[in-house]
């Protein structure tokens, strides 16, 4: 009775092998029909940010009468995206739009998909350069830095006085790049000559530390006219502090945030405007670009120009990246249109 048990397992595996051989020819690819069957693969599903991007993808799909679906893992780990890429490859979708959790881990699977004629477009976070056709970049650092100086200038009467920055950690790559562009704009543009940057504080993207740092800024600089907080955690902590200390409306607040965290403060005037890239448009542009690649209207080479529906004209730059455009500015009159 001992060995037959082993034989059972072998029989089971043989069943698999046989069905594998039997099914070899049945993967019916139909490359002739250029139907748009484009799948979004975010880092994780049930994430509000990616769900908003998906609404943009859906909108583009409707406009182009293509198919849209979103699949993905429930945890954002590098390995988790691979089975989904392989599954989409088996399903013979026409393009995969992916936000890479681990750019290198998913590269072999994406290359395999590309070798079967599937187009790969990165959005939000790019896969390895050779494992995608095009990457849709949500924002460039220069634009993100400059728009924040522009906003604080708009909100401070006369665009003159002391301002401070409440950042994330002192080592945060994105924030540091933006702050450098803010400083450059303050120094080079005569429009901002009345503004004086007195301090860069670091709230470590921790609500408690950010609150303490914001209180510290108000204490240390009684003449402070404006705060720029280029991070979601910082800007909402600062808004709370301004409200509690009765400085709302006296000290201008702006920066980068999400509509759901900032809605209350925009409506009560604590923070009249803030910026972020338009996440819905990111999904729209990613779908549109993927569709054009599938239809052969663009090849994904540097220098190509194309029109992406309601968003207008774009150019693929030398690093085969497409820039979404200037950051989106949220104000009281448009904040209710977006939900993330």
Partner 1 sequence: MSALRDRLLARWETLLVVLLIAFLVLGTSLSPYFLSASNFSDMTSNLMEKAIMALPLALIIIAGEIDLSVESMAGLSSALLGFVFLLRWPLWIDIPLVLAVGALGGLFNGLLVTRAGLPSLVVTLGTLALYRGLASVVLGPQSVSGWPDSFTNFGFGDVPGTLIPWPFVVFAVLAVAFIFVLHTTWIGRQIFAIGKNKEAARFSGIQVAKVKTLLFVLSGTLSALAGVVLTARLSSARADNGQGFVLDVVTATLLGGVNIFGGEGTIAGVVLAVFVIGVLRNGLTLADVSPDTQSVVVGALLILSVAGPTAVRRIRSAWSSRSFVQSASHR
Binding site for partner 1 (CB under 8 A): 1-13, 15-16, 19-24, 26-28, 45-46, 69, 71-75, 77-80, 82-84, 86-87, 89-92, 102, 104-105, 107-109
Q: How far is the CB of 28 from partner 1 (least distance, A)?
A: 7
In angstroms, rounded to a whole number, what is the distance separating the alpha carbons of residues 232 and 234? Answer: 6
Half-sphere exposure at residue 37, Cβ-oriented, CA atoms within 13 angstroms: 15
Q: Residue 22 or residue 303: which is nearer to partner 1 going by CB?
A: 22
Q: How far is the CB of 313 from partner 1 (least distance, A)?
A: 34
Q: Residue 86 or residue 315: which is nearer to partner 1 going by CB?
A: 86
In angstroms, rounded to a whole number, what is the distance separating the alpha carbons of residues 142 and 35? Answer: 38
Q: How far is the CB of 26 from partner 1 (least distance, A)?
A: 6
Opening angle at CA 226, ends 225 and 231, nearest 5? 165
The answer to whether 122 and 110 are in contact (CB under 8 A) is: no
Q: Residue 108 or residue 269: which is nearer to partner 1 going by CB?
A: 108
Q: How far is the CB of 84 from partner 1 (least distance, A)?
A: 7
Q: How far is the CB of 251 from partner 1 (least distance, A)?
A: 35
In angstroms, rounded to a whole number, what is the distance separating the alpha carbons of residues 39 and 283? Answer: 11
Task: Give the tokens for residue 159.
Answer: 């665009």
Which of left, alpha, beta for 92 (phi over 0: left; psi -120 to 50: alpha)?
left
In this structure, the strands spanning 305-307 and 119-123 are: unpaired
Buried/exposed code over 19-45 (b: 16+ C-beta within 10 A; e: otherwise)? eeeeeeeeeeeeeeeeebbbbbbbbbb
In angstroms, rounded to a whole number, what is the distance separating the alpha carbons of residues 241 and 236? Answer: 9
Q: Residue 98 or residue 149: which is nearer to partner 1 going by CB?
A: 98
Q: Residue 114 or residue 198: which is nearer to partner 1 going by CB?
A: 114
Give strand ranges (E) for 89-241. 95-98, 119-123, 134-137, 161-167, 195-202, 224-229
Q: How far is the CB of 335 from partner 1 (least distance, A)?
A: 30
Q: Residue 122 or residue 143: which is nearer to partner 1 going by CB?
A: 122
Q: Residue 24 or residue 158: which is nearer to partner 1 going by CB?
A: 24
Least Cα distance to 35 among 69, 70, 71, 65 occurs for 65
Q: How far is the CB of 78 from partner 1 (least distance, A)?
A: 6
């Amino acid at each position: 009775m001992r060995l037959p048990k082993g034989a059972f397992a072998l029989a089971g595996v043989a069943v698999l092998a046989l069905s594998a051989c039997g099914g070899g020819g049945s993967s019916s690819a139909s490359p002739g029909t250029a139907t748009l069957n484009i799948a979004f693969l975010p880092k994780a599903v049930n994430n509000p940010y990616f769900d908003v991007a998906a609404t943009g993808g859906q909108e583009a799909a409707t406009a182009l009468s293509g198919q849209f679906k979103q699949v993905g893992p429930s945890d954002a780990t590098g390995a988790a995206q691979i089975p989904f890429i392989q599954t989409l490859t088996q399903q013979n979708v026409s393009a995969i739009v992916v936000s890479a959790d681990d750019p290198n881990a998913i590269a072999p699977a994406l290359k395999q998909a590309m070798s079967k004629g599937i187009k790969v477009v990165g959005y939000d976070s790019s896969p390895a350069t050779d494992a995608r056709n095009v990457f849709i970049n949500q924002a460039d650092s220069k634009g993100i830095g400059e728009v924040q100086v522009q906003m604080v200038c708009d909100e401070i009467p006369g665009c003159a006085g002391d301002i401070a920055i409440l950042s994330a950690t002192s080592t945060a790559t994105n924030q540091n790049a933006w702050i450098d562009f803010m400083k450059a704009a303050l120094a080079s543009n005569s429009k901002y000559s009345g503004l004086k940057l007195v301090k860069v504080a670091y709230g470590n993207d921790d609500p408690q530390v950010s609150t303490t740092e914001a209180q510290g800024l108000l204490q240390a600089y009684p003449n402070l006219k404006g705060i720029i907080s280029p991070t979601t955690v910082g800007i909402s902590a600062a808004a709370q502090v301004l409200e509690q200390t009765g400085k709302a409306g006296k000290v201008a607040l702006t920066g980068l945030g999400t509509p759901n965290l900032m809605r209350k403060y925009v409506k009560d005037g604590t923070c009249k405007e803030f910026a972020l890239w338009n996440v819905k448009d990111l999904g729209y542009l990613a779908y549109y670009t993927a569709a054009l690649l599938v239809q052969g209207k663009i090849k994904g080479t540097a220098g190509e120009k194309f029109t992406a529906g309601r968003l207008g004209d774009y150019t693929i730059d030398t690093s085969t990246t497409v820039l979404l455009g200037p950051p989106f500015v949220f104000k009281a009159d448009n904040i209710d249109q977006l939900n993330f």
